[in-house]
Structure 1
């Protein structure tokens, strides 16, 4: 009597399946603070491993204005597409500045929108984003006030930061910045009239979706 035979078990080793790494290029204008924050974010285990994100920071020194920054990102994206490069997303991180705005803010936003460049704009400046790591803030700020607010929380100088102080709080900052964005949307306020605000929460969500 013939026995029912089970199909033979394959002895071939199963190839482990991993999510493909997502490569993000970030162009930022700051001399120290923004690059140091982004570098600390890049080194976080949940960003580096769980989210499988490769962050490449393009630090543009010399006080590059937003329009210059976006133009550089647009050219880099065009080169990446032409060369079938591996960069998936391009971001620009810059400030609005108060009381005197950066020139070309509207042109920079329009150029970015037409060329697939994502923006993380802080209004008035990046220090507002840093302050949101510690508490909510809904009142208008100029640059000097934002820097004082940041110093009141971390006690550090204007330039540079300790990533270990900020990284554990980045989810709280993203939540607070998202609430500010919704507030301005409900009131029809757009850049540069959306003070205070920071689009950094969208960048955080892009490199770590669980933060959104």
Structure 2
């Protein structure tokens, strides 16, 4: 084979190799788990945005400025094959009828519910301490969280303030509600179910 033909053959092999590598990388991206999380408030939004990582699942987080039931209905319209799962992160606000309505609406969608009683801050508290005493209101739970992390506010939630206690939070929440279905207990949260799914997306 002449030197010119040899160079041509090498170039063809290089092109073929690069093409195979590109296909492999593309395939890896397509297999990456992807989650859509619709949140009620800034605290929840910032927490789950903070869980994003380069090697983890794709996490799309949105905060529609609508009421609880409308968030679940919007999740239904945005559900697609693009996502491994669609979750709505909402507070029960100690309202049993609201919790029941949300469960019915989520079943129609169907989408997954991450519910906290009375509010999502219960889940954040569990990253630091046991949380079993009932709260009279969401504001009381927020004051408790503020006493644990003085720098915390609803507009400045940083996942780094909670990441070290993630396993503890899952353990504490599951101890209160092992099934993740008894969301009316005060306090309680089934956020551990969503977190476990997100962590599974790392595999």
How would you bin the TM-score normalised by the shorter chain? 0.7 to 0.9
Aligned to 2:75, which of 63, 73, 76? Answer: 73
2:137 is the alignment partner of 1:127? no
The answer to whether the Cα contact below 8 Å between 1:93 and 1:121 also exists between their aligned partners in 2 is yes
Q: CA deviation at 1:209?
A: 2.6
Aligned to 1:5: none
Gaps of 5+ in 2: 1-12
Q: CA deviation at 1:156?
A: 2.7
TM-score, normalised via structure 1 length: 0.74
SS in 1 for 2:37: strand
Aligned to 1:23: 34
1:108-153 Cα offsets, whole Å, 9 max, x none, are 2112123220111010001111100101111111212211110111
Q: Greater share of helix residues, 1 or 2?
A: 2
Q: CA deviation at 1:55?
A: 0.5
2:196 is the alignment partner of 1:198? no
- Tell me which structure has the larger Cα radius of gyration: 2
Aligned to 1:156: 151
TM-score, normalised via structure 2 length: 0.77
The answer to whether the Cα contact below 8 Å between 2:124 and 2:145 also exists between their aligned partners in 1 is yes
SS in 2 for 1:56: strand
SS in 2 for 1:171: helix
Gaps of 5+ in 1: 1-10
Between 167-176 and 21-30, report the one with greater CA deviation: 167-176
